Amino acid sequence: MLHVLFGPDEFRASEALRSLRDTLDTDGSLASNTTTIPGRNLSPSELIQHASALPFLAPVRLVIVENLLTSLGSRRGLVDTWQPFLDFLPSMPETNHVVLIESPKRDDRDSSVARSPLLGALKQRPNVTVTEFQELKTWARGGPSEVAQWLQDRAVRRGISIQPQAIEAMAEMVGANLRALAAELEKLATYADGRTITADDVRLLTPVVREERIFDLVDAIVEGHAANALKLLRRMLDDGSETPAHVQLLVARQLRLLVRATEILEGRGSQEDVASITKTRGFPLTKLMRQARSTHRGAAEAALRAVEATDHSIKTGKYTDELAIELLVVQLASLAPRHTRARR
């Protein structure tokens, strides 16, 4: 049987592959009968060879092919080239399972895999299942969002008790990053130690909350709102959730991402290009794109240089770390493009 797993939600695709492994591995022999091969430069005859080999002292064999459809694209004559494999599929041993798993490169509006003529031909063959994993929505009308429902279902499967308010807080803070949500759920369950997870637990333990506050600070800086940026900074410092040095570190990290994002957008790149190069997805990507569209590369680079100068002033004793970070925030806000500052 052939399974095709693709789409922007790579976590659910990987979970589907793991579930298939668990289903097939009835006697513990699957590990020694699993072959994983890269799809790039793979020929039809090579794939047929892998897919026709019988399992060794085991009931099933699993062949995992990574990014075959992505690497092939939509080139002319693709279906003709792969016709031998299409013809082979009906005679593939019943003991064998082939999985084509595609890492997300683009969002669902511009999916090279979805447009693949080879995928279209595969769909017409018997014993072929095709599953596209769209990114779950973080919003809903009159009920829980898809992300919140997924989180609730996962908690039930894992035997974890969690308040609806805690689920909503996690979905709002982390967004559609299911891998991060799954990890946070396990961490919160360990912390709760058998009791119901509350929204307070989420606010206390979820590091994305800290990341979100940094995003808000950088938002205010990029938009030139010095007073708001200082207010956010003072709140973080006064409640003890951050130190000046750590704020500086996180701001520098976000500005480096911002430099890359503005460079990509000014070079006519897309959001998918930004996601691929900066390795960001979900909520962090949404915030980064908003910031990148609110400024330009020159301003982002100047801001990053200002952070480096502040670091030097602290190390040489010119300013205390707290005064230095406050002066930095004011300076960074002053670097925002004028049209951005006038927008609010």
Domain boundary among 99, 132, 165: 132
Task: Measure Cα distances from 175 to 124, 159, 199 in Å.
Answer: 36, 23, 16
Do residues 14 and 113 both lie within one domain? yes
CA distance 158 to 153: 9
Sheet holding 96-101, edge to edge: 34-38, 61-66, 96-101, 2-6, 128-132
CA distance 258 to 293: 10
Domain of residue 89: give its range: 2-132
Instruction: Determine the pLDDT at residue 331.
Output: 92
Global pTM?
0.60
Instruction: Determine the pLDDT at residue 241.
Output: 59
Q: Which CATH number fits the domain that encloses residue 6?
A: 3.40.50.300
DSSP-assigned letter for residue 134? P
Amino acid at residue number 246: H
Cβ neighbours for 233, distance < 8 A, ≥ 6 positions apart: 217, 247, 325, 326, 329
Domain boundary among 80, 108, 132: 132
Q: How many domains is the chain built from? A: 3
Three-class DSSP labels, 293-328 = HCCCHHHHHHHHHHHHHHHHHHHCCCCCHHHHHHHH
Tens of pLDDT, residues 245-298: 878 888 888 899 999 999 999 999 999 999 999 988 777 788 889 889 988 999
Tens of pLDDT, residues 173-199: 777 778 889 999 999 999 999 999 999
Instruction: Determine the pLDDT at residue 210.
Output: 60
Do residues 230 and 329 both lie within one domain? yes
Do residues 214 and 272 both lie within one domain? yes
Domain boundary among 105, 132, 159: 132
The stretches in the chain having pLDDT less than 50 are: 106-110, 339-344
Do residues 16 and 59 both lie within one domain? yes
